[in-house]
Structure 1
Amino acid sequence: MTDFIGQNSSRTQEIQLQDSIASSERPKPPGALASTLTFATRALLRIKHVPEQMFDVTVFPIIFLLMFTYLFGGAIAGSTAEYLQFLLPGILVMTVSQITMYTGIDLNNDIRKGIFDRFRTLPIWLPSALVGALLVDVVRYSMASAIMIGLGFVLGFRPEGGVTGIFGAIMLILVFSFSFSWIWTAVGLVVRSEKSLMMISFMVLFPLTFVSNVFVDPRTLPSWLQSFVEVNPISILATAVRGAMHGTSTIEQVVWVLVVSVIMTAIFAPLTIYLYRNKK
């Protein structure tokens, strides 16, 4: 009985295949939304089958927060509890900013494996492979934010801005990180290996995150260094996130984050699409 059902199913699939080949009508190509969601599902399945790649949004944020709070909190602020209120928003910004490079790494791996060339031959909206991956990265950023804030509450973090402030801070981080990721997709299309991409991202992210207001108040820095910190995109985001969480955010701070995000997207998104279309 089982063999009969299996044979009947195989025969049905064979007939459907013959009908599709013999048909003179070509199937309609998927729309931009459908193809983008398909590539987003592909990225989610990659996380499912390789869960260790989530260490960067689970283990590392915890290590950073604990290490900087309890090793440097007393020396910098005189109290770990007081320093935690200042540090957590900054560490959250630093952690999410650093994991934006993984979008470019995944794209670079696809190029080296030849999958990239197959994607470009499909009758789909070409940027969907990039946008789908970036949308899933937003999920990763959200997970990192949730883990950091949850641990912060356990350690004694008390945001005066309440739930609304936390939600607003996370939204700012997600918008900024989505825009920031376009930089690494562009770099991922140019460099030859993921090691090169990681080295370049380290050379950029290390000074941006450490020469900022993530760890210390810029007023304690030399005047010549304060000028760089004030225009540093990471500092701009950290200031807005810190203000949102503690209820001191201003319209100007939010606008500056949005302006920086729009500028990065306007420059690197078209550049990435150009490189993606013309990659040889």
Structure 2
Amino acid sequence: MTEATAQTRTQYRQRHLPSRRPTVSGTAAASLTLAARGLLKVRHNPFLLFDVVALPVVLTAMFAGIFGGAIAGSVGNYLPDLVPGVLVQVAVTATVNTGVQLCDDVDRGVFDRFRSMPIARIAPLIGALTADVVRYVVAAVMVVVVGLVMGYRPDSWPGLLLGCLLVIYTAFALSWVFAFLGVRMPSAPAVQGASMFVLMPMTFVSNALVPTAHMPSWIKWLADINPVSHLVTAVRQLANEGTLGVDILWSLVGATLIMLVMAPIAVRAYIRKT
């Protein structure tokens, strides 16, 4: 009798009670909701947008004034090279925010509260990375707008749009690296310090701001193999020439490989941590 009662209860639960196993659609909906939560943080702390709103203005104006006359003879002649370089530099640097915010949320126990909710455990992580895509879009728009105000005119508007999409895709792929660091490192300042230690050489030892031809041979070699240089060259070819060069392929393949390798590692580390 007891066994029959247990069977009846099990059948009732299976038929009438909702399953706690998350579905793909449920995970997607939860991820978007948590992405919106991430964007709402800006209302309480507008300084979170400093690196994607103010920094593009400062860097574009500053580098144009410093390097424009020395490298290209005038600011106007320098802008076709500078705008793609700053676009890549700002977007790549903005990916650090993913790791910093994740580490801060882990320290404050935010993910412990999410774990008690009937959502997929991966949803908060995907939501955080999705929210940061909006930041990359804002960064790209700001760089282009500042460039246009200063006199930049791309030869190919569709090419410029494709270049912006390529940069955003690459930044999203790179954000998985910093998501992993955000989960594994002990504090948000540690994440920021380690990230800058890697990103500063990558963004400055490249062709983003100056040509590599007159660099010392060993620095030129590093700049030429730097993935940032390939990405900058790809955006310049798209925006200023409207052509699809081999650097676009290298950038796409590199970003995809980073995401394929780092996404599973970051997810595994996140699940273990939370």
Where does the alignment leave 5 or more consecutive residues of structure 2 unmatched?
Answer: 1-11
Residue 260 of structure 2 corresponds to which residue in structure 1?
266
* In 1, Cα distance between equivalents of 2:71 and 2:32: 46
Distance 1:42 1:27, change over 3 A: farther
* Deviation at residue 255 of structure 1 after TM alignment: 1.2
- Structure 2 counterparts to residues 100-115 of structure 1, below 5 A: 100-115=95-110
| Counterpart secondary structure, 2:71 | helix
* In 1, Cα distance between equivalents of 2:104 and 2:17: 32
What TM-score results when the alignment is normalised by the length of structure 1?
Answer: 0.87
What are the superposed Cα offsets for residues 102-132 of structure 1, whole Å, 9 maximum, x if unpaired? 0111111111101122223433222221111
* Deviation at residue 72 of structure 1 after TM alignment: 2.1
Say yes or no: does 1:88 pair with 2:91: no
Residue 5 of structure 1 corresponds to which residue in structure 2?
none
- Structure 2 counterparts to residues 152-231 of structure 1, below 5 A: 152-161=147-156, 163-231=157-225
| Count of equivalent residues | 257
* In 1, Cα distance between equivalents of 2:146 and 2:256: 31
1:39 to 34, 38, 55: 34
1:232 to 203, 226, 249: 226
* Amino acid in structure 2 at the alignment position of 1:227: W
- Structure 2 counterparts to residues 42-81 of structure 1, below 5 A: 42-81=37-76
* In 2, Cα distance between equivalents of 1:211 and 1:26: 59
* Deviation at residue 268 of structure 1 after TM alignment: 1.1
Pairwise CA RMSD: 1.7
* Deviation at residue 27 of structure 1 after TM alignment: 4.1
* Deviation at residue 51 of structure 1 after TM alignment: 2.1
| Counterpart secondary structure, 1:218 | coil
- Structure 2 counterparts to residues 239-258 of structure 1, below 5 A: 239-258=233-252
User: Does the CA-based 8 Å contact 2:85-2:207 persist in structure 1?
Assistant: yes
Where does the alignment leave 5 or more consecutive residues of structure 1 unmatched?
Answer: 1-22
User: Does the CA-based 8 Å contact 2:104-2:188 persist in structure 1?
Assistant: yes
* Amino acid in structure 1 at the alignment position of 2:199: L
* In 2, Cα distance between equivalents of 1:100 and 1:132: 14
* In 1, Cα distance between equivalents of 2:76 and 2:49: 29
Q: State the percentage of identical aligned residues.
A: 37
User: Does the CA-based 8 Å contact 2:122-2:271 persist in structure 1?
Assistant: no
* Amino acid in structure 1 at the alignment position of 2:96: M
* In 2, Cα distance between equivalents of 1:176 and 1:166: 15
Say yes or no: does 1:131 pair with 2:162: no
| Counterpart secondary structure, 2:63 | helix
Distance 1:128 1:251, change over 3 A: farther
What TM-score results when the alignment is normalised by the length of structure 2?
Answer: 0.89
* In 1, Cα distance between equivalents of 2:79 and 2:216: 24
* Amino acid in structure 2 at the alignment position of 1:87: L
